[in-house]
Each structure stands twice: as C-alpha cells, then as structure tokens.
Amino acid sequence: MSRALTRLLDFDDQYRRDQKQDQAFLHRRDRRFAQQQQEQGKPLSVPAWLQALHALNDQRRDSGPDVRLRRWRQARWVFAGLGAVLGAAFMLGLLVYDGGRQINLTLLMALVALQCLLAVLTSVQAWLGWQPWRGLFGAQADDDPLASLRPALSARIAHTGGLLFAISGLLALLVMVVVQDLAFGWSTTLQTSAEGYHALVSLLAQPWQTLWPEAVPSQALVSASQFYRLNSEGAVSDPALLGTWWPFVLMLWLSYVLLPRLVLLVLAGLQVRWQARRALARHPGYAPLLYRFETPWVETRGEEEAPRAPAEATVALSPLPASSTLIHWAGAGMRSGAVVGALSRGPGPRQLRAGGNSTLEQDAEALREAGQRREPVILVARGWEPPTGELSDFIMDAREQWPAGTLLALVPLADEEGAALTDRGLQAQWQRFVERQQDSHLLLCAPEAQSDNTPVDADHGR
C-alpha cells in the first residue's frame, strides 16, 4: 500500500489523539517544530512532523501494514489469485481445439473487446466515485479516513485481478501454442468479405504493425481462414497456415487486454496516491496544523494561579460594648447620624478620626485622646475595604498607649449609613484580621439596630 495512505491514516490517528489536548499545547508544540525545521533548513512537511512526534513519543511503527489497510491488501491478494486462475481457465476454454473446426477469431476479438471495456468502465467508475458495490463492505464508519478513497482502492484491486487475468491468459496462450497445433479461423453470419475482415484485423494490428510485421495477418491468410460450420467438406488445403494467426492473437491479447490493465492499474495507483494526498489536505486537522505552523505562538497568560481557598474562619461577633468614644477609620460613617446612634451610648459621643487622609500625627492625637477617656473604644471601619497594615499598626499603637484591658470594638460597616456587614466572605476577612492581631481585648462587633440598642457593660463582652 502506498506511503500516502499510511501517512493519511497516521495523520488521522494523531489528529484523534490531539483532540484530547488543549489548543494552547498543540500550538506551542507545532510552532516549536516549525521553528526547529526552519532553523535546521529542513522541509516543513506532514511526514516530517509525524516522524518528529513519533520520535518524541518513542513510538515505533509496527513492522506490518496498518490494520485498516490489511482488509484492502487481503482483497487485493484474493482478486489477484482469482484473476490468475480465471485468466488461465478463460484462455484454455477459448483455445479448446479438437480438430473439428477452427478457433473462432471473431469470438476471441469480441471477448478481448469486452475485457478492454470492463477495464475502462472500472476506471471511469472509480474516477466518478460511484460505488454500486458499497453494500458488500457492510456499514461504513462515520469517521473512516479512507471513506473517500474507497472507489480508487476498489479499482486498484479490480485492475490487479484483471492484470493477473491477462498475464495468466497470455501464458496459457503461449503454452497452448507450444503444445498444440492451433488452427484459427474466422466465421460470422454477417455478409462480410475477406477484404472487410482483413481491414478490421489490420486496423487492430496497427499498434504493432512496425514492431512485429509477422503478427499482422495478410489478405491471403484472412481469405484462407474463413470457415462455415455447415461446410464439413471445406478442408483446408494448408492447415499449417491457420496456425500462423497466433502472433496476431498474442499481440491482440497483449495490446488490448494486458497493456490497458497495466496502464489502468498504474493510473489507479496514482489515483489512490493523489486522492490520499487530497484527503489529507481536506482533513479537518490539516488546516489547523498549517495555522499552528505558520502563526507565532502568542502567550499572555503567564503563570497559572492555583485557586487559593482563604483560611477557614468562624465568624464570632461579640456584643457591642457600651461606649461613647468612636474612632472613624478613614472617616468611615463619620457623617452618618445613624451610625453614631447605633454605636454609641448616650448623646454627644466623642468622635475621633484616624487613618485615611489623616496625618500620622493626627492618628497619634486620636489615640491619646481616646485613651484618656478610659472606656471601651469603638473603631468603625469600611467593611467592604480590606483591612490594611496601617489599621493593624494603629491597633498595636493603641494597645501600647492605652490602659491595659481597654476594650476595642472593631465594627466594619456594610455602607456609610451604618448597615451591618452581612456578606460572609467579608465578615470572614475581618474575623481573620482580628485573629491575626492576637489581642484578646479586640472584639469584632456589628452595629445594632437602633431600636434594640442595649449596650452591654465593658466586661460583658469578654
């Protein structure tokens, strides 16, 4: 089987394997191959690509033919064997000569013409892609890469059988010529003169007229060879003369049976190769492969981030301690009366500001002032913004400056109007922040609804 077929099947196999890979991988792999070939001045071709992939995957091709081609190969052998047997049988049957009457050249020529016609029809059918015998192969797989090549492959098999038929027929003819005294003659019901018949055989003998003049029957031979079955007395004056037809018969068989089969077999082989190449070029994996060869590999993705699950945190909100000291971190909720009302005990709470656009000196002043009040401090922050290092530093500074045991209630808000944070993710973020501070007097609290505002004693929250 031709290399083009093996290549097509090999390509199809690789295409199926590649379908399990992602496009990025394929592009990188094939672009790299294309660049390497270019750098080394080697051709960029599908066979080279397949070879490189086989080498990389340490794949060794089986010594035998592809299993999908085995059926076709077996069919070819069967047809060849059948052709050889039938060819010999055909010729022996044709040349049976019992001395009763001559071997009819007209019949022989008609059968040669039939052989020639069958050969041509086989090729035409293959070129047209007509498959009247399709049912013989059973159900055809949807994804058979050889589907479009079936007519050509079948024609090649038929021509192989035909060629063996012609060769064995030729050999049988030669054997019969050697071992028997064949006497050829011509007979027809039609009113044909010997001149007319001579013109016909001369026309048929045109191809070898100059090559082998002895194989062109003369007018005298034609006239002497006509016979009528009823004319039992019409004995031939020179029986040896009738045997001189054999070179003509030999060349007739060679030129109109064997040679056409040989030529058409070669053409069928070329057709298989050409169609295999065409099938490869039309293969759904071919254009994408060329695209991957030609197109630079563009990578923007960089490193892959592994999904990071945040550390587990069980949100434990503490009751809001009673306090009238509020520190608004970065001004969170400072202008909202609702926030102040919900967080502080009693009218006129002390509202301090730190972080954000305050200076570090202002932060220090807010700390000093809050510490002087000797009561729990409520630190209000924007819950939707992640707590920063500055907030952490502020809490640490507070702990250093304030009297020991001063409660600090951290209250992240859901909005500037003082709504409690309900988003579990954000709550967990603040819970983790509180845990990182490792400060037992730091509480995570939520603003209470104003109607339910029943501040707890300082110790209650512990």
Token representation of residue 302:
């960089």
Site string for other proteins, 245-284 (x = CB under 8 A): ----------------------------------x--xxx
Select 244 or 275, whichever has its Cβ closest to other proteins: 275
Token representation of residue 438:
């490792």
Cα angle value 361/362/365 (rounded, 5°):
90
Out of 41, 64, 100, 307, name the contact with other proteins by CB under 8 A. 307
Cα angle value 122/128/131 (rounded, 5°):
65
Least spacing, CB of residue 15 vs other proteins, in Å: 11
With binding defined as CB under 8 A, does residue 319 bind other proteins? no
| Interatomic CA distance for residues 223 and 447, integer angstroms | 129
Select 390 or 448, whichever has its Cβ closest to other proteins: 390
CB within 8 Å of 201: residues ≥ 6 apart: 105, 216, 217, 222, 248
| Interatomic CA distance for residues 445 and 411, integer angstroms | 5
With binding defined as CB under 8 A, does residue 360 bind other proteins? yes
Least spacing, CB of residue 100 vs other proteins, in Å: 48
Which segment (4-12, 86-94, 160-168, 350-358) binds other proteins by CB under 8 A?
350-358
Cα distance between the two ends of the chain: 88
With binding defined as CB under 8 A, does residue 397 bind other proteins? no
With binding defined as CB under 8 A, does residue 233 bind other proteins? no
The residue behind tokens 């070329």 is 270
Out of 78, 85, 266, 287, name the contact with other proteins by CB under 8 A. 287
| Interatomic CA distance for residues 343 and 412, integer angstroms | 11
With binding defined as CB under 8 A, does residue 390 bind other proteins? yes
Select 134 or 229, whichever has its Cβ closest to other proteins: 134
With binding defined as CB under 8 A, does residue 437 bind other proteins? no
What is the total residue count of the chain? 462
Out of 210, 211, 301, 312, name the contact with other proteins by CB under 8 A. 301
With binding defined as CB under 8 A, does residue 141 bind other proteins? no
Which segment (81-89, 229-237, 264-272, 382-390) binds other proteins by CB under 8 A?
382-390
User: In whole angstroms, how far apart are CA 321 and each of 36, 437, 456?
Assistant: 72, 19, 5
- What stretches of 174-289 adopt beta strand conformation (E)? 184-185
Of 336, 301, 358, nearest in space to 450 by CA = 336
Least spacing, CB of residue 277 vs other proteins, in Å: 13
CB within 8 Å of 179: residues ≥ 6 apart: none
Which segment (2-10, 90-98, 192-200, 380-388) binds other proteins by CB under 8 A?
380-388
Which segment (43-51, 140-148, 205-213, 236-244) binds other proteins by CB under 8 A?
140-148
Contact 37, 292 (CB under 8 A): no
- Bridge partners (DSSP) of residue 226 are 186
Q: Hey, which residues between 9 and 48 contact other proteins (CB under 8 A)? A: 22-24, 31, 35
Q: What is the dihedral of CA 401, 407, 413, 418, to 10 degrees?
A: -110
With binding defined as CB under 8 A, does residue 330 bind other proteins? yes
With binding defined as CB under 8 A, does residue 425 bind other proteins? yes
**Which residues of the shown chain bind other proteins in the complex (CB under 8 A)?**
22-24, 31, 35, 135, 138-140, 142, 147-148, 279, 282-284, 287-288, 291, 295-308, 310, 330-331, 355-357, 359-360, 384-386, 388-390, 393, 425, 429
